[in-house]
Chain A
Amino acid sequence: MSQIIDRRLNGKNKSAVNRQRFLRRYKAQIRKAASAAVSGRSITDATSGEKVNIPTRDIAEPTFHHGAGGRRETVHPGNTDFVAGDRIARPKGGGGGGSGRGDPSRDGTGEDEFVFELTRDEFLDCFFEDLELPNLVQREIKEMLSHRTVRAGYSRQGVPANINVVRTLRGALGRRIALRGPYRERLREVERELEELEDQGLGSSARAIELREEIRRLRTHIEAIPFIDDFDLRYNHRIRVPQPSTQAVMFCLMDVSGSMDEARKDIAKRFFILLYLFLLRSYERIDVVFVRHHVTAKEVDEHEFFYARETGGTVVSSALKLMDEIVRDRYPLSSWNIYAAQASDGENWGDDSTTCRELLTERILPLVQYYAYVEITPDRHQSLWAEYEAVAAEHEHFAMQEIASPADIFPVFRRLLARKPA
């Protein structure tokens, strides 16, 4: 007799450890793929998994096997018109494997590349590794939504600890009144009738005895109504609601003058993504506004933001002005939290930097929750840096950082992280 065992409830992640080992072993390739993905995908799409391709030869496990050459005789089915002794031109691409010929791959791509999906967490791990985020921070960011327990009325089910006494007793009282009602009414009638009988001196008549009996019965009924019953119980009801219940808008400001090359833009992109991830943790809805500038500023979509090329000089204040206008126009402070991230190579026209400082301190910083500035520059700082340093000295929520590689980005957010979202 066969034995039948239901194994479905056993763990299904038997291979998880092997998967981890595989990822660890090919970390370099996977990181490269993840890194390429960051450049390729939209900022707001930073949190999905990612498909990774690794060349098959990189992960092949070598064995001794026959290569092309020598003599081999193979048997195939479905002959149509060959006869013994026929000569056939050798098909291109060699003689194929020991059994079967022709290409082993149906779709043509499957053979050269090993393709698999990284999960969201694995992808973020790769992303964070570039940024060298502290572990605690990584965890916090990945934890997308925190939940808060709030009271939400009363429920009929619950644990004794949550019994709401007032509600329960009020319910019980109501029930008692409602259930007693008909008996009480009848009781009053019967008592009145008995009283009348007694007044008439018929206190011992058959009717009176009958009435007394009924009174006794009604009283028993009334007393039998329980003081408190199961369905009187009311419990405080609590539900978990996602903590981030507010909305935020994130401004990405970037200098797109000729000196910002692809590599710098790529670093800037990581900077923006990281801010986005921070915000994702705290807000339910996030708008992202892209403002790019050279001499003049313009609001653009993401693609144009990162890929369109411009040349010319740089007037940083133009972007700040535009941002200020957009905020006052579309994002009333009453319903929006405003964050701004600015990336630049630090170039600015001579006297514009002072204007920037004034704009920041007077108009923008009062509006925003946090303003992060990164300067991606190998050269020495120009006037903008000095002006911004002055701003940073006065304002808690203005952070700035000079960066050369993605690993330098994180410190600019340190203070943002230290604060708990409201």
Chain B
Amino acid sequence: MSRVISTGSEWTFELIERYDREIARVAADYRLDTYRNQLEIISAEQMMDAYSSVGMPVGYAHWSFGKQFLAVENRYRRGQMGLAYEIVINSDPCIAYLMEENTMTMQALVIAHAAYGHNSFFKGNYLFRTWTNADAIIDYLLFARRYVQECERRHGEEAVELVLDSCHALMNHGVDAYRRPPRLSAEREAARQREREDYLQRQLNEIWRTVPRRTDTRRADAPERFPAEPQENLLYFVEKHAPLLEPWQRELVRIVRKIAQYFYPQRQTQVMNEGWATFWHYTLLNTLYDQGYLSDGFMIEFLQSHTNVVAQPSFQSPYYRGINPYALGFAMMRDIRRICEAPDDEDRHWFPEIAGRDWVGVVDFAMRNFKDESFVSQYLSPRLIRELKLFAILDDEARAELEVTAIHDERGYRQVRRALADQYNLGSQQPDIQVWSVDRRGDRSLTLRHNRYRNRPLDDSAEEVVRHLARLWGFEVRLEEVDDEGRVRKVRQCDPPR
């Protein structure tokens, strides 16, 4: 009797269940550890909704999501874009969306990719473990939406929108990169909110008390710096120390900050996360095929869309959009497996610690303990550099021409690997901006410092962001750009809007 699960392209709930059961069985054989799964069947319109709320299953209302929606809808209508066939939410249970228009093959692909690939990554990777609480996020988002609604009712949509706009502008600077955040809990969040409001206000009054009660001689001769150390979490600093914000405004800042933190790991693990999920849908479905559960027709459809996903156009192609994280991540994961299973001398030289080891354990270790930057610098092999024909280009504004600094040859491997890893370093993508000082005694102005990375200046939109920050801070805000040698190169400043 044939074990083939299905041959047609139509899906049914029974078939989805059967595929899911078989995929789960194979995934367990490979020791994939996942959260529980929740597969949700949705329509194309709902997919567009999910799309435009940047992957939050529940979100507060904001025009920027509307803009996102219009853009998605328009591109979809004009046929410029197929909808991504999967969106998966880092939550427990892990929610994966299956679009009703998909064929059975695509549904199975999405289940393998999202519900077992991404899911196990969410559960295993150290960044996600540290920065996100999968079991609490949905509740927190619900709490956030209700709170924003409540604020809109009490203070008007306009007022709320102003605060949210400003927070969104600073969203990427709302995370402490080196401190583990406390766990999320919507309940506690709501219960303690009132308490916190009062407390915050009291604390603020303390900080901003300008008339000294006691004459303290120590203060006069050595004015304390505030903050004592530069602060990288701008939103946190605003939430705790902005002099004029109302308690509800602070709470909104906090909400945006918490959501930013939830997305923080995703920005740093794109290659790994997609590579991992792609590697596993490929491995799981191939295993099922080898076991006789999948038909040839299924595999051909699957391979076709898999190939599209991992296509990497060369830099000269009109379709080139930079390195495709799916392609790079998938290639690296497979390469690791190859190094484990069939290492050659070069691999033994470069990767003595994994060559010949059990590949399932090795990829699992890699998934758990790295982010894109470290993953590339640890595992990108010379052979893969050759296969992808990677080369590095240096663009230095001081020089008239670009320079090819390294290519896929013996002398260039390390250089290419270092350059590629650096490309995924959050520090190179995102400007390093910190709270430098606050003039507590004088005009209460806030000074930020941007330490230029490789002397790269800020884009002009920084002006606009400073304006947003000034709105939250309530007093003048200055942004100083400091170059490699520590000299202040450019100062932007902005008074708060009247």
On chain B, the residues within 8 Å of A21 by CB distance are 61-63, 66, 157, 161
A49 → B minimal CB distance (Å): 11
B169 → A minimal CB distance (Å): 5
Is there an interface contact between A74 and B393, defined as CB atoms closer than 8 Å?
A: yes
Is there an interface contact between B37 and A82, defined as CB atoms closer than 8 Å?
A: no
Is there an interface contact between A73 and B401, defined as CB atoms closer than 8 Å?
A: no
Q: Taking the complex as formed, is B93 at the interface, i.e. its CB lies under 8 A from any CB of chain A?
A: yes
A95 → B minimal CB distance (Å): 4
Q: Taking the complex as formed, is A66 at the interface, i.e. its CB lies under 8 A from any CB of chain B?
A: yes
- Residue from B37, B65, B401, B408 in contact with A88 in the complex, judged by beta carbons closer than 8 Å: B401
Is there an interface contact between A75 and B403, defined as CB atoms closer than 8 Å?
A: no
Contact bitstring B41-54, A, C-beta under 8 A = 1, else 0: 11101101100110
User: Which single residue of chain A is at the shortest CB-CB distance from B422?
Assistant: A73
Is there an interface contact between B53 and A14, defined as CB atoms closer than 8 Å?
A: yes
Contact bitstring A71-96, B, C-beta under 8 A = 1, else 0: 11111111110111111111000010
Q: How far apart are the CA atoms of A310 and B20 in the complex, in Å?
A: 74
Is there an interface contact between B37 and A84, defined as CB atoms closer than 8 Å?
A: no
Is there an interface contact between B392 and A71, defined as CB atoms closer than 8 Å?
A: no
Category for how many chain A residues contact B? 35 or more
Q: How far apart are the CA atoms of A20 and B394 in the complex, in Å?
A: 45
Is there an interface contact between B38 and A64, defined as CB atoms closer than 8 Å?
A: no
Is there an interface contact between B314 and A71, defined as CB atoms closer than 8 Å?
A: no
On chain B, the residues within 8 Å of A87 by CB distance are 401-404
On chain B, the residues within 8 Å of A24 by CB distance are 63
Q: Taking the complex as formed, is B491 at the interface, i.e. its CB lies under 8 A from any CB of chain A?
A: no
Is there an interface contact between A18 and B61, defined as CB atoms closer than 8 Å?
A: yes
Contact bitstring B374-416, A, C-beta under 8 A = 1, else 0: 0000000000000011111111111011111111110110001
Q: Taking the complex as formed, is A19 at the interface, i.e. its CB lies under 8 A from any CB of chain B?
A: yes
Q: Taking the complex as formed, is A226 at the interface, i.e. its CB lies under 8 A from any CB of chain B?
A: no
User: Which single residue of chain A is at the shortest CB-CB distance from B157?
Assistant: A21
A86 → B minimal CB distance (Å): 4
On chain A, the residues within 8 Å of B40 by CB distance are 4-7
Q: Taking the complex as formed, is B459 at the interface, i.e. its CB lies under 8 A from any CB of chain A?
A: yes
Q: Taking the complex as formed, is A102 at the interface, i.e. its CB lies under 8 A from any CB of chain B?
A: yes
Quick one: given A15-B69, A74-B393, A99-B323, are A62 and B403 in contact (CB under 8 Å)? no
B157 → A minimal CB distance (Å): 8
Majority DSSP secondary structure for residues of B touching A:
mixed
Is there an interface contact between A63 and B171, defined as CB atoms closer than 8 Å?
A: yes
Is there an interface contact between B419 and A4, defined as CB atoms closer than 8 Å?
A: no
Is there an interface contact between A69 and B457, defined as CB atoms closer than 8 Å?
A: yes
Contact bitstring A1-18, B, C-beta under 8 A = 1, else 0: 111111110101111011
Is there an interface contact between A79 and B431, defined as CB atoms closer than 8 Å?
A: no
Majority DSSP secondary structure for residues of A touching B:
loop
Q: Taking the complex as formed, is A67 at the interface, i.e. its CB lies under 8 A from any CB of chain B?
A: yes
Contact bitstring A222-242, B, C-beta under 8 A = 1, else 0: 000000000000000000000
On chain B, the residues within 8 Å of A6 by CB distance are 13, 40-41
Question: Which of A112-120, A187-195, A201-209, A244-252 touches B?
Answer: A112-120
Is there an interface contact between A117 and B393, defined as CB atoms closer than 8 Å?
A: no
User: Which single residue of chain A is at the shortest CB-CB distance from B391?
Assistant: A79
User: Which single residue of chain B is at the shortest CB-CB distance from A116?
Assistant: B70
Q: Taking the complex as formed, is B193 at the interface, i.e. its CB lies under 8 A from any CB of chain A?
A: no
On chain A, the residues within 8 Å of B458 by CB distance are 64-67
User: Which single residue of chain A is at the shortest CB-CB distance from B424?
Assistant: A99
A66 → B minimal CB distance (Å): 5
- Residue from B39, B46, B397, B462 in contact with A3 in the complex, judged by beta carbons closer than 8 Å: B39
Taking CB atoms and an 8 Å cut-off, the chain A residues in 94-125 that contact chain B are 95, 97-102, 104, 106, 114-117
- Residue from B67, B391, B464 in contact with A75 in the complex, judged by beta carbons closer than 8 Å: B391
Q: How far apart are the CA atoms of A74 and B320 in the complex, in Å?
A: 14
Q: How far apart are the CA atoms of A59 and B67 in the complex, in Å?
A: 9
B132 → A minimal CB distance (Å): 21
Is there an interface contact between B390 and A79, defined as CB atoms closer than 8 Å?
A: yes
Q: How far apart are the CA atoms of A75 and B388 in the complex, in Å?
A: 11
Is there an interface contact between A79 and B408, defined as CB atoms closer than 8 Å?
A: yes
Is there an interface contact between A114 and B395, defined as CB atoms closer than 8 Å?
A: no
User: Which single residue of chain B is at the shortest CB-CB distance from A83?
Assistant: B407
Is there an interface contact between A73 and B66, defined as CB atoms closer than 8 Å?
A: no
On chain A, the residues within 8 Å of B48 by CB distance are 15
On chain A, the residues within 8 Å of B204 by CB distance are none
Q: How far apart are the CA atoms of A106 and B78 in the complex, in Å?
A: 14
On chain B, the residues within 8 Å of A89 by CB distance are 401-402
On chain B, the residues within 8 Å of A415 by CB distance are none
Is there an interface contact between B52 and A18, defined as CB atoms closer than 8 Å?
A: yes
Quick one: given A18-B62, A72-B395, A79-B390, are A8 and B43 in contact (CB under 8 Å)? yes
- Residue from A12, A78, A85, A104 in contact with B43 in the complex, judged by beta carbons closer than 8 Å: A12
Q: How far apart are the CA atoms of A146 and B52 in the complex, in Å?
A: 36
User: Which single residue of chain A is at the shortest CB-CB distance from B380?
Assistant: A75
Q: How far apart are the CA atoms of A86 and B402 in the complex, in Å?
A: 8
Taking CB atoms and an 8 Å cut-off, the chain A residues in 1-56 that contact chain B are 1-8, 10, 12-15, 17-25
Q: Taking the complex as formed, is A60 at the interface, i.e. its CB lies under 8 A from any CB of chain B?
A: yes
On chain A, the residues within 8 Å of B115 by CB distance are 2
Is there an interface contact between A66 and B459, defined as CB atoms closer than 8 Å?
A: yes
Q: Taking the complex as formed, is B460 at the interface, i.e. its CB lies under 8 A from any CB of chain A?
A: yes
Is there an interface contact between A90 and B400, defined as CB atoms closer than 8 Å?
A: yes
Q: How far apart are the CA atoms of A311 and B387 in the complex, in Å?
A: 74
Question: Which of B83-91, B261-269, B448-456 touches A?
Answer: B448-456
Q: How far apart are the CA atoms of A101 and B317 in the complex, in Å?
A: 11
Taking CB atoms and an 8 Å cut-off, the chain B residues in 24-39 that contact chain A are 24, 36-39
User: Which single residue of chain B is at the shortest CB-CB distance from A114?
Assistant: B71
Is there an interface contact between B462 and A64, defined as CB atoms closer than 8 Å?
A: yes
Is there an interface contact between B456 and A70, defined as CB atoms closer than 8 Å?
A: yes
Q: Taking the complex as formed, is B316 at the interface, i.e. its CB lies under 8 A from any CB of chain A?
A: yes
Q: Taking the complex as formed, is A394 at the interface, i.e. its CB lies under 8 A from any CB of chain B?
A: no
On chain B, the residues within 8 Å of A22 by CB distance are 63-64, 66-67, 69-70
Report the 9 A-B pairs with minimum CB-CB distance, sorted nearest first.
A78-B314, A100-B322, A70-B456, A22-B66, A18-B66, A67-B459, A62-B464, A99-B322, A2-B37
A-B contact pairs, 16 of them (CB 8 A): A5-B40, A18-B66, A62-B464, A63-B465, A65-B461, A67-B458, A67-B459, A73-B422, A77-B312, A78-B313, A85-B403, A88-B404, A90-B395, A97-B322, A98-B428, A106-B318
18 more A-B contacts (CB under 8 A) besides A12-B45, A59-B67, A75-B392? A2-B39, A7-B40, A7-B41, A7-B46, A8-B41, A15-B65, A15-B66, A21-B161, A64-B431, A64-B459, A65-B458, A66-B457, A69-B455, A74-B392, A75-B420, A86-B403, A114-B70, A116-B73
